[in-house]
Amino acid sequence: MMNGSGKNTIEILDTSLRDGAQGEGIIFSLHDKLAVVRALDELGVDWIEAGNPGSNPKDVEFFEAAASLSLGTARLCAFGPTRKSGVDAKDDPQLRLLAGSGVSAVSVFGKCWDLHVNEVLRVSPEENLAMIAETVVFLKSRGKLVFFDAEHYFDGVRANSEYAYSCIQAAFGAGADRIVLCDTNGGSFADEVGAAVSDAARVLAEIKPGAVPPLGIHTHNDSGFAAAAAAAAVKAGCRHVQGTLVGFGERCGNASLAALIPSLELKLGFQCLPPGNLKRLFKITRLVAEVANVPLPAAMPYVGSSAFSHKGGMHSDGVLKTSRSFEHVDPALLGNDRHLLMSEIGGRSAVASRVGQLAPSITRDSAVVETIAKKLKTLEAEGWAFEGADASFELLVLRELGRYTPLFKILAYRVMSEHPTGDSICCSHAWIKLRVEGYDEIAAAEGNGPVHALDGALRRALCRFYPELGQVRLSDYKVRVINGGAATAAKVRVLIESTNGPDTWTTVGVSEDIIDASRAALVDSIEYRLIANAGLT
């Protein structure tokens, strides 16, 4: 039986650790795999497809370690192929490993496209059907739930529908608990998928009327339709959905569960996660992306940092008056936040909203809002951009409100770089003189580059006065040329992302001198942390 009950319950299987691990650049250590399992269990998915227990030593070690995990909602599922041609299922070493994997369910994939049967497996159509049926029977005899992944099903239907139907009928007739229809090449349109799901339910009912097992869907994103195709499959009757939370996977990736789950729950009324768990989606998706060491796309639906960001003045004004005017769902339902971007086209309503967060008494018609809006436009004309630098914008607002006085002042600084020949490592040196609380402080540091050295010297000078800066580090550094036509005399914009562990903030600096632009962003980064610690933000 599926977890939950009722026709509106969707069973979710996350395959980040199996299909996701086949994505380019995705490499999970044993520690990583266990961390992903815990995160997905916290989210509340039903199944975690954890890999092939006999494919490599790491997976063998994982299944051994996973046996001691105490999970709340999720259950682990092993993955593997049907038996080899000409080998009895009970003698197939791969199937024996699947049967002994210690998990309650096995996803087993079988070919449903006659092209693969004839040209890849190079077996007869009849032998392929026997491989499917005998594999399911063997695993069922060992007490396993069997999910039959009908590989290349939609391509198979287009090429030879009768043979594709016979493959899923063979699995169903042998006792498979789920029939999962796979768009393995990711080339199917959503309407094709929906129609094929309906046809699959019909042909399965022909052999066991009234006993069709839950149909599942597994889509790839090679045409950009993975989530749409999966949603169409659910509308057509699928109640088991496979994907990867972040969307990474083979080639262009799998259907992103972070996009699909909220669409199914909030738009179609299905229950995919335990009640209340949808609010964990923003946090858990970021956690899994961090473990996988992949950037989470800013524009990712529902959970991206830009998913509920508004830049245009009319958009910002509208969403502040009536949120659904420019937001299809409430970001709080996903654990995300609305973000009004500060820019020259943002409008006074957006500025007033952001200023009001720091000073609730400030209204849209306040003179200071007009002053800040004008200053924003002037600075952006000079190359500054605050839409991705919230910390620098907050400092600008606090200065205009008269609530902030700089905690230190740089009196002078110097940066030098050495470029030795041979195998020696190039290095840079920075010297800085600043005034803090009426005292002059001088410090120097060495770094891998000029910005690294300057950052080190600045922190060394300040840590005696503000030891909490020892917890702050740069987590990202970006440079963009603003007016490329000026060649080497062009202005550059530097964005610096900083973190102290729990919190992350971004600052900006602009100058014709890349070191000075970096200095401006570094100073804002440190001052923002200091005033945040003092409770001024």
> CB-based contacts of 156: which residues, under 8 Å, 6+ apart?
112, 113, 114, 150, 163, 164, 167
Is residue 393 a part of any domain in this protein? Answer: no
In this structure, the answer to whether residues 61 and 99 fall within a common structural domain is yes
Is residue 20 a part of any domain in this protein? Answer: yes
Residue the block writes with tokens 């952006």: 380
In this structure, the answer to whether residues 285 and 326 fall within a common structural domain is no
Helix then strand count (H, E) for the chain reads 16, 16
In this structure, the answer to whether residues 288 and 313 fall within a common structural domain is no
What does the pLDDT read at residue 388?
A: 74
- Tokens representing 72 are 């709340």
In this structure, the answer to whether residues 81 and 204 fall within a common structural domain is yes
More confident residue, 117 or 423: 117
- Tokens representing 73 are 């909602």
Share of the chain above pLDDT 90, in %: 62
Residue range of the domain that includes 247:
11-292
Strand 178-183, strand 309-310: pairing:
unpaired
> CB-based contacts of 373: which residues, under 8 Å, 6+ apart?
347, 348, 351
Q: Which of 191-200, 216-225, 271-280, 346-355 has the lowest mean pLDDT?
A: 346-355
In this structure, the answer to whether residues 42 and 103 fall within a common structural domain is yes
Residue 284: pLDDT over 80: yes
In this structure, the answer to whether residues 139 and 206 fall within a common structural domain is yes
In this structure, the answer to whether residues 106 and 162 fall within a common structural domain is yes
Query: Residue 28 carries which DSSP code?
Result: -
More confident residue, 143 or 296: 143
**Amino acid identity for residue 61 in this structure:** E
Q: Which of 128-142, 153-167, 295-309 has the lowest mean pLDDT?
A: 295-309
Where is the domain boundary, 257, 292, 327?
292
Query: Residue 466 carries which DSSP code?
Result: -
Instruction: Provide Rg for the chain, Cα atoms.
Output: 29
Is residue 479 a part of any domain in this protein? Answer: no
What does the pLDDT read at residue 1?
A: 42
pLDDT class for 532, splitting at 50, 70, 90? confident
Q: Which of 202-211, 379-388, 431-440 has the lowest mean pLDDT?
A: 379-388
Is residue 462 a part of any domain in this protein? Answer: no
Q: Taking Cα atoms as reference points, which of 213, 219, 161 lies closest to residue 186?
A: 219
Distance CA 164, CA 150 (A): 9
User: Helix 390-401 crosses helix 367-381 at what angle (to 10 degrees)?
Assistant: 130
Residue 30: pLDDT over 50: yes
Is residue 431 a part of any domain in this protein? Answer: no
Residue 510: pLDDT over 70: yes
Residue 169: pLDDT over 90: yes
More confident residue, 309 or 191: 191
User: pLDDT, tens digit, for every residue of 38-69?
Assistant: 999 999 999 999 988 877 777 888 988 888 88
Distance CA 249, CA 22 (A): 6
How many independent structural domains does the chain possess? 2
- Tokens representing 461 are 């000078």
In this structure, the answer to whether residues 229 and 271 fall within a common structural domain is yes
Is residue 157 a part of any domain in this protein? Answer: yes
Q: If you average pLDDT over residues 155-163, what whole number do you get?
A: 98
Give the phi and the psi of residue 406 in degrees, each rounded to 5.
-50, 140
Residue 261: pLDDT over 50: yes
More confident residue, 101 or 489: 101
> CB-based contacts of 163: which residues, under 8 Å, 6+ apart?
112, 114, 117, 125, 156
Q: If you average pLDDT over residues 378-384, what whole number do you get?
A: 81
Q: What is the DSSP string of 107-139?
A: EEEEE-SHHHIIIII---HHHHHHHHHHHHHHH
Distance CA 78, CA 107 (A): 6
In this structure, the answer to whether residues 122 and 263 fall within a common structural domain is yes
Which of 3-17, 51-65, 359-373, 449-463 shows the highest mean pLDDT? 449-463
Is residue 198 a part of any domain in this protein? Answer: yes
In this structure, the answer to whether residues 177 and 318 fall within a common structural domain is no
Distance CA 240, CA 532 (A): 46
Q: Taking Cα atoms as reference points, which of 395, 456, 468, 405 lies closest to residue 435?
A: 405
Where is the domain boundary, 381, 401, 427?
381
Where is the domain boundary, 237, 262, 292?
292
Are 173 and 137 contacting, i.e. CB atoms less than 8 angstroms apart? no
Q: If you average pLDDT over residues 176-200, what whole number do you get?
A: 97
Distance CA 168, CA 112 (A): 8
Q: Find the CATH number of the domain harbouring 236.
A: 3.20.20.70
In this structure, the answer to whether residues 89 and 62 fall within a common structural domain is yes
Q: Average pLDDT, whole number, for the chain? A: 89
Q: Which of 131-140, 175-184, 432-441 has the lowest mean pLDDT?
A: 432-441
More confident residue, 354 or 26: 26
Is residue 281 a part of any domain in this protein? Answer: yes
Contacts made by residues 526-530, CB under 8 angstroms, sequence distance 24+: 526/458, 526/459, 526/462, 526/469, 526/472, 527/395, 527/406, 527/407, 527/408, 528/391, 528/392, 528/394, 528/395, 529/468, 529/469, 529/472, 529/498, 529/500, 529/505, 530/407, 530/466, 530/468, 530/469
Are 185 and 220 contacting, i.e. CB atoms less than 8 angstroms apart? yes
Are 494 and 521 contacting, i.e. CB atoms less than 8 angstroms apart? yes
**Alpha-helical runs (H) found in 206-253:** 226-235
pLDDT class for 295, splitting at 50, 70, 90? confident
User: pLDDT, tens digit, for every residue of 396-427?
Assistant: 888 888 888 888 999 999 999 877 655 556 68
User: pLDDT, tens digit, for every residue of 79-111?
Assistant: 999 999 999 999 999 999 999 988 999 999 999
pLDDT class for 289, splitting at 50, 70, 90? very high
User: pLDDT, tens digit, for every residue of 323-376?
Assistant: 888 889 999 999 998 766 655 555 566 777 777 777 777 777 788 878 877 887
pLDDT class for 35, splitting at 50, 70, 90? very high
Length of the chain: 537
In this structure, the answer to whether residues 184 and 317 fall within a common structural domain is no
Q: Which of 142-156, 162-176, 325-339 has the lowest mean pLDDT?
A: 325-339
